[in-house]
Structure formats: structure tokens, C-alpha cells
A and B are shown apart, each in its own frame.
Chain A
Amino acid sequence: MWFRTVYLKTLRDFRIPILGWGIGVGLLIAVVLAAIPTVLATPEARAAVVALGPSFAWFAEPVKIDTPGGYATWKYGLTLLVVAIWPILAQTATLRGEEEKGSLDTLLSVPRGRVRLAVEKVAAMWTALVTMAVIVGLIGFAGTAKINAGFGLGATVMFGINLALIAAVFGAVGLLVSQFVPERRTAAGITAGVLLIAIVVDMVHRVEPGTEWISRLSPVYYYNLSKPLIPSYGVNAGAMLVQLATAVVLSAAAVWLFARRDVGDTVHLPGASRLAKPAARPVAALPVGDWTLRSVYARGMGMVAVPTFWWTLAIAGFSAWMVVVVQQTAAQLKSILQGSPVMRDFLALGGSDSATQSAIFSALFIFMPLLLMAFAVTQANRWSADEEDGRLELVLSTPQPRLQVLFGRFAALSTATVIISLLTLAATAVASSLTGVRIDGGKLVVATLTMIPLGLLVGAIGYALSGWLRAAVDTGLVSFLLVIWFVISFLGPGLHWPDATLRLSAFYYYGTPLLNGLQVANILVVVLVGSVALVLAAARFTRKDIAA
């Protein structure tokens, strides 16, 4: 049955992600809803949460956050947009990825038009997203079993549909971008950048009053206009239609372009033809004189250079921007603290302006190691994919020991994480100096440099798992581990989870260096576990059969 049409075959390819993302996001919603009785147990606790809301408005608009639906919507805020990553990867792989592999040539040799083929693939993606939305709705609704949530199954399903719509929009952006670039990876990277920009553009109006017109340019703005889990707020049908229309228009444009361009080529923008292929330079092209070709490590650096640049821009830029946010919110939070001892206890804050700023910045800074670890996941994926695609075979036909190849690549990843951390330190320090937000220099150094072992831990685990698993499974597992760690550290303390559970998360060992400085023992645990994973990776790689 699944092989009868392109639509069904594509849908079959999506079955694991549909289940994975649907169950994953559904569980996230269910967990936070189930935790409501603990988090909002007393009127004081509810008041504290309500008071805290405006300070984190940049992250999510605080609407009725003392209710289960309001709290769940606010608590996850923008982090749920991580769902868009899968459609971005899937849609860029749909046509461009298949062109890269050469399988599209075969598919187009059957008597079926290009438009129909592309439409069937897009339809399969949308079906997958709707299915995912329903799974999210069902599991999310299960989370309300023991609480008086004030909303029903329809609301949780609409929550899933709203999420599916924004995911469809960015999937469509990915499909469109992939018509203009020759590589799936590049298209996915550009689209991820567009997602990030859209998130920031949406944030603007919540940080700077009077800038709503800017935020309206972002699809994320329309996603946030619907809050189905808050009965009094509900669904904004118009906003959902805007998202749907955007996804349809972008997809239609992508299909239209695909039907008109050469397979394997890109859409040529006006004027670009003048920059077409340079004349052949047979032997003059040698020697190349490129330092990145001198060794496996140097080549690894060459491969990681561009991603490092963009991730540095994102992480260092985000960190610097956090400083600005702290400057804007600290005064407001300080006044809340002064008037509410409960709130002070809730946040475990107090003291001087400087201490308040440090505390807020510390709370926000947890996203930096998370982002660095996400970067490490992408690089571990690249190692795994290179082996799976047979790109290591010729390298290993040279007199390079397997260990040297593995450590050469891992050393390049390590260098990149060090560079990102150092530039994050520099950007944060400069932003702190320019805004007057006082951050302890020594602790900032500790906070940025101790991100490095966390990044390398994730990289080492990814390298180790690649010894046994396919690249997609390896990356999926490491990403899932990252999400689990984040959820444990994000929700665990509020839910009074036992210390043993909290210790399962790598973020536990990172701690709060901006407040408490270097916790040598904890960092050594990360280093030790990372080293074990790397040794395991090396032991496996030296013994395994290299993929053909």
C-alpha cells in the first residue's frame, strides 16, 4: 500500500519523525500540565508567577499564566518552535536532497509530471504535520487528566494544529530556498537562520513598545496570536489562515520554480548568469595552497569554519542581546522583589542591583550551553554522515591511522567550540561594558569557558553512538538526549524532582557559574563522562567495518 504513490511513499518515510515529534511535544505539554498543582499550589506561588511574567515577556507573552493553559503556553514559549526544525530538514531533503543523491532523476523517469510529484511530496508533509498535531493534542489532553484545566481535547488539538501551521510555514521556506541553492545542507542552514530571525523579529514588539508593525512581518507573530490552551484567549482564525496562506503560497512558488528549472541546477537570479562558470584552468589550479588541506585536522577545520561562523554569530549575539534584555528588565524585577518577599524566595534573588542583574542574566544564560551543545550535535552528525556516505573510505586508504582521523576531526570540533566560547565571552563582556550591566568578569569567564566541556560531551556521545548507529538515528538520539536534559533542568527543580534525577542532566553539572563561580568537581564529572564517551568512540572506530 505504501508504495502505490509518491504521496504514500513520502508519508511512509515520515512515519518515525511523525511519531517522534508528536509524542515528544505531546509529552512536554502533558508534563507541564501535570505539574500545575505543584507549581501553582498556593495563592502566593500564583502571584509570584504572575509577577514574574512581564520580565520574561521577550520569551513569551504572559497571558493568564496563573492558569494551567496560560502557564503551559508561557513556560514553553518560543522553545516549542524547535518543532519547525524537522519540516525544514525534511522539505530541504525532499527535492534538493534527492537531487543531490541522484534519486530524483530516477523518480522523474516515471510518467508523472514534476508538478504532481512535488505536490504529492508537499501534501505528504502537510499530512504528516496534521497527524503530528493530533498526536500532540491527544497526549497533551492526557496531561489534564488529574487537573481542572478548563479546556478540552479540542483545545489541545488546536494547539497542535497551530504548531503544525508554523512548522509548515518554515518547511515551505526551506522548500523555496532549496530551489536557489545547490546543496540541501545550505538550504537547511539558511532556513534555520530565517527561523531565528523570525523569532527575534517577533520578540521585538514585546521588548520595545510601539514596534508591533515590525513583528507583523514575522510568521511567528501570527503563531503567537493563537493561544488555544487559554479558554478566554482561544484561537485566532485569521492568524491561522495567514499562516496557512503563507505556507501555501511559498510551497506553490517552490513547486512552480522546480517545474521550470533544470534538475540538479538552481534557479538563476537575474544577473547571476554573468557570474557563471569560470573558464577551465586545467593544471593551473594546482598547487592549491590551501592550509585546510594539510591534514585531517586542518580539513576538519575547513569543514567546520562556516558553521562555526554562523553559530558564533547566533550564540555570541544572543548572549550580548541577553545583556540588553537584562538591562531593560532588571529595574522592573527589582521593584517586584522589593514588594514581594514571596517573589524573592521564589527566584532566590535579592541584594543589590548588581546581584539582581547577575541572577537574571544567569537564568537566561542557560540557553548558551544549550546552543553550543546543539552545534556539537550538528558536527557529530556530520562525522556520522561522512562515514555513512563512504567519505572516510578514501581517507582511510591513505597511511592515516584510524585514531588520527577520528581525533583529527574531533580536535577540529573542539577548536570550534573553544572559538565560539571565547567570542561569546568577548561579545558579552563588550555588551556588559556598553550597557552598564555589571557582570562579574571572573564568573563570566567561568560561565563561557565551562560551556566547552558540555559541547564536547555531546560531540563525544554523538561520535560514540555513530560507531553503532546510522547517522539519522545517532543524531536523533543525541538531540533527544539534549531535550531530555533540558527538560530535567528546566522543569525538574520546579517540580521538586529528586536530586538523583536532576543529576542525570548535563546542565546540572554546568550549574549557575555566573552566580556561584567555578564548581570544579561538577565540571570534572562532565570532562570524565565526555572522555569515556570519546574513548568508547575511538575504541569502536578502530575496530569497526567502515561503511561501504
Chain B
Amino acid sequence: MTAVIKTEKLTKDYGSGRGLFDLDLEVEEGEVFGYLGPNGAGKTTTIRLLMGLIHPTAGSASIFGLDCWRQAVEIKKLIGYVPGEPSLDPNLTGGQILEYFANLRGGVDRGYLKQLIRRLDLDPSRKFRHYSTGNKRKVVLIQAFMHRPRLLILDEPTSGLDPLNQQEFDGMVKEARDEGRTVFLSSHVLSEVEKTCTRVGIIRDGRLVRIGGVHELRDIKRYEITISFAQPVPTEMFATLDGVTEVERLNDGHAVRIAMQGAADAVIKAAAQYPVVSLTSYEPSLEDIFLRYYERDGQAPKEAAGVV
């Protein structure tokens, strides 16, 4: 396998501890690589360094063996890019924007472009200013995919998309992967990365804290269940069940909030012994996970640090 993206000690120091520090990363050809981290962790900084939009304070980054700063123009012939906060001329229609970028890139198959427009159900005759957040995101996604680039760099690409279009996007990423193209995708939504990516890197406070296969995320993936009962119950009985990591007694024992990993079978069976009024399950955001998992006692647990 060839490394499509390679960084060595890549650093962008904005001062006061902000930025990206000593990033060593390799993304292989044909991979769908998820780049996870809470807000402000350094995901966008990494991507902007890869795109040659900002230059590194130290270290190096290359794409297809080309230096991201010095050979940025050559690199951009090979990639499609979705920025985190797309800003485009509000007076142009979606169609005009796509045509403009098709002209600037060259080599765009108009048939494929129209196919993407249909697929994401975009009305290209409307002005960009009149688009909803989701439709703006569609325009940017289409311009990234329309020339079938060898590498897609996507900064939180599904932000603002409805579930149907998110599904369509997942399909587009899968097709790109099946065609042997490479995808570098940043996100702060764990489930999104789980669905689409083969390998994942986790960044926090500007440093890569984990990197590994997507299945290896399970140990940090947690969810919470809140169960309300018609009468007070002995909530401590949940603490010893499989997968339960934390139990919190609520409302004088009329309810319980359980943090857990893995299957919920044991918890559901235990709860069923009492009259259940309601049951809700929720997946915490990555930030919640980081707060609880990585910042416990102010430092990362030993098993979580480093490459797995």
C-alpha cells in the first residue's frame, strides 16, 4: 500500500497552546480515514495544512509524495475538498457555482455532475444565499466529488444534511472507496465515522491521541440509558451488570441513568423486573466522551493513550 497522505511532526502553533502539534500520520491509498475530535481539537487546522491554505510552523505534510505547501497546485489537481465552513458568492446560483468550479478544475464529466445533482436532490437554479444550510452543504459536496478526485478531503461533510442525504453521502463515499479512491473525513460524530470509515485517528488539544481500525473504537463508545419506574427501585443492582460503567440514582429511586458500553441485554432484563414507565437511550457526543473518558483525573487512561 502507498501512503497517500503523510505527515511528519506536522505542527501549526497559534500560541497559547492552540494549534496542531507533532502530527505523525499516514493514510493509505483506498482507505476511508476518519479524523475524529471534539470542537477546537485541531481537525480543521490539519486539513487546512494538507490543503496548503496555511503553512506549518514545523514538520512536513505531503500528499501523493508532493509537498503540501510548495506543490499545492499539483496536489489540487488530484483532490476534492469540502471546507468546514463553506463560504461562496451568495449572488451566484448553485449551478453557476458548480460551473465556475468545474471550469477552474477542468476535466469534469457534465453527465456525472448532473447525476450528483439529482442524487442529492439539489435545485441548482436557486441563488446560494437562498439555500438552506443543508443545500449549501450539498453544493460544496457536489463540487468536491464532481471531478472524481483520487483523494477527497472532507471537513465535517455531513453537517446540516438531513438523514436521507446523509445516507446518500455514505453511498458516495462507499463508491469512492470501491473505486480505490481515498477519503480523509473529519467529524465529531462517532457514529458517522463508524459507518463510513475503515480507520480512525482521534485528535485532542492538537495532538493525535489514538489511531487504529474503526472496530477499535468500541472501547470508547458509550451510551446512556435513562429508565423511569412507577415505584422506587434498588438502583445499585445495575452497577454490577455487564457493560455498565456508571449508575446514577434519580428522583428518589424512581429513575436511573446508566452509562454503558456494549450490549444492553442485562440491563433491560434487570429493569423488566419492575414496572417501567419510560426508557430512553442516547449516544453522547464525542465531546462528552472526551470529557468523561480522556479527561478523567486530568489525563488519558493508560490503555487509551498511543497507537492501538
Contacts and interface: CB of A to CB of B under 8 A. Distances in A.
Interface of A: 100, 182-183, 277-278, 280-288, 290, 293-296, 299, 303, 389-391, 393-401, 543, 545-546, 548
A288 B140 contact: no
B207 interface: no
Contact of A394 (B44, B55, B94, B101): B101
Contact of A393 (B83, B91, B110, B121): B83
Nearest to B115: A283
B31 to A, nearest CB: 21
Contacts of B81: 394, 397
A390 B51 CA distance: 14
B99 A399 contact: no
A183 B129 CA distance: 10
A288 B103 contact: no
A389 B91 CA distance: 15
A389 B106 CA distance: 25
A384 to B, nearest CB: 14
Interface-centre pick from A281, A391, A398 (highest chain B CB count, 10 A): A398
A180 to B, nearest CB: 16
A277 B127 CA distance: 11
A399 B105 contact: yes
Given A296-B104, A548-B44, A396 B53 contact: yes
A301 to B, nearest CB: 13
A398 B101 contact: yes
Contacts of A397: 51, 53, 76, 79, 81, 83
29 contacts: A183-B90, A277-B126, A278-B125, A280-B125, A281-B123, A282-B122, A282-B124, A283-B114, A284-B125, A285-B94, A285-B95, A285-B124, A286-B117, A288-B95, A294-B103, A295-B103, A390-B87, A391-B89, A393-B86, A394-B101, A394-B140, A396-B53, A397-B81, A397-B83, A399-B73, A400-B104, A546-B48, A546-B53, A548-B44
B93 interface: yes
Given A280-B125, A288-B93, A288-B96, A393 B105 contact: no
A299 B101 CA distance: 11
Given A286-B99, A288-B95, A545-B53, A398 B105 contact: yes
Given A280-B126, A397-B53, 6 more contacts: A100-B90, A290-B96, A293-B100, A390-B85, A398-B104, A400-B76
A282 B123 contact: yes
B124 A286 contact: yes
Tier of interface size on chain B: 35 or more
Contacts of B94: 285
A246 to B, nearest CB: 32
Interface string B132-147: 0000000010010000
Nearest to A303: B89
B125 A393 contact: no
Contact of A295 (B87, B104, B124): B104
A393 B84 CA distance: 11
Nearest to B93: A285
A400 B101 CA distance: 10
B105 A288 contact: no
Interface of B: 44, 48, 51-55, 73-74, 76-77, 79, 81, 83-91, 93-96, 98-101, 103-106, 110, 113-114, 117-118, 121-126, 129, 140, 143
A394 B143 contact: yes
A183 B55 CA distance: 34
A390 B88 CA distance: 8
Contacts of B96: 288, 290, 293
Interface-centre pick from B77, B84, B99, B118 (highest chain A CB count, 10 A): B99
B16 to A, nearest CB: 17
B53 A283 contact: no
A286 B101 contact: no
Contacts of B100: 293, 299
B125 A182 contact: no
Contacts of B110: 286-287
A548 B85 contact: yes
A285 B125 contact: yes
A466 B251 CA distance: 59
Given A282-B118, A295-B103, A546-B53, A390 B83 contact: yes
A398 B88 CA distance: 14
A449 to B, nearest CB: 32
Nearest to B12: A545
Contacts of B125: 278, 280-282, 284-285
A285 B96 CA distance: 9
Contacts of A548: 44, 48, 53, 84-85
Contacts of A282: 117-118, 121-125
A401 B93 CA distance: 25
Interface-centre pick from A277, A303, A399 (highest chain B CB count, 10 A): A399
Contacts of B55: 543, 545
Contact of B118 (A281, A283, A399): A283
A280 B95 CA distance: 12
Contacts of A545: 48, 53-55
A295 to B, nearest CB: 7
Nearest to B84: A548
Contacts of A281: 123-125
Contacts of B73: 399-401
Q: 10 closest Cβ contacts across the A-B interface?
A: A390-B87, A545-B54, A285-B125, A285-B95, A397-B81, A398-B104, A293-B100, A281-B125, A285-B124, A546-B53
Nearest to A299: B100
Contacts of B105: 398-399
Contacts of B98: 286
A373 to B, nearest CB: 26
A398 B76 contact: yes
A390 B117 CA distance: 24
A288 B108 CA distance: 14
A288 B105 CA distance: 16
A284 B98 CA distance: 13
Nearest to A295: B103
A290 B104 contact: no
A398 B121 CA distance: 24
A281 B126 CA distance: 9
A309 to B, nearest CB: 15
Interface-centre pick from B44, B53, B73, B85 (highest chain A CB count, 10 A): B53
A293 B99 contact: yes
A286 B95 contact: yes
A389 B53 contact: no
